[in-house]
Amino acid sequence: MSVKDNIENQTKKIKKFFGLLGPGLTTGLLMTILRVLLPILKQELSLVMVNYGQLFICFHL
């Protein structure tokens, strides 16, 4: 068995495994990522906006 055949065989096994799991895994993972990352991104964005406002005031004067 060549390396290419081995990779194709492993790829088929992985596709079959995720096919059996269905779309719920991807959807659940996406929701978890959004639930964790959105508060962090909101906080970072607010910090950037505050710091940008301070920078604007500093150079505007």
Profile the chain (61 residues) by mean pLDDT over runs of 10 residues: 85 84 72 82 74 61 51
Domain presence at residue 5: no
Domain presence at residue 36: yes
State how many domains the chain has.
1
Q: Which residues of 20-58 are buried (b: 16+ CB within 10 A; e: fewer)?
A: eeeeeeeeeeeeeeeeeeeeeeeeeeeeeeeeeeeeeee
Domain presence at residue 15: no
Domain presence at residue 4: no
pTM of the entire predicted model: 0.38
Name the residue range of residue 55's domain. 24-61
Domain presence at residue 8: no
Question: Both tokens of residue 41?
Answer: 């991104």
Give residue 30's pLDDT. 77
Domain presence at residue 52: yes
Give residue 26's pLDDT. 66
Calculated CA dihedral for residues 50, 45, 42, 34, nearest 10 degrees: -170
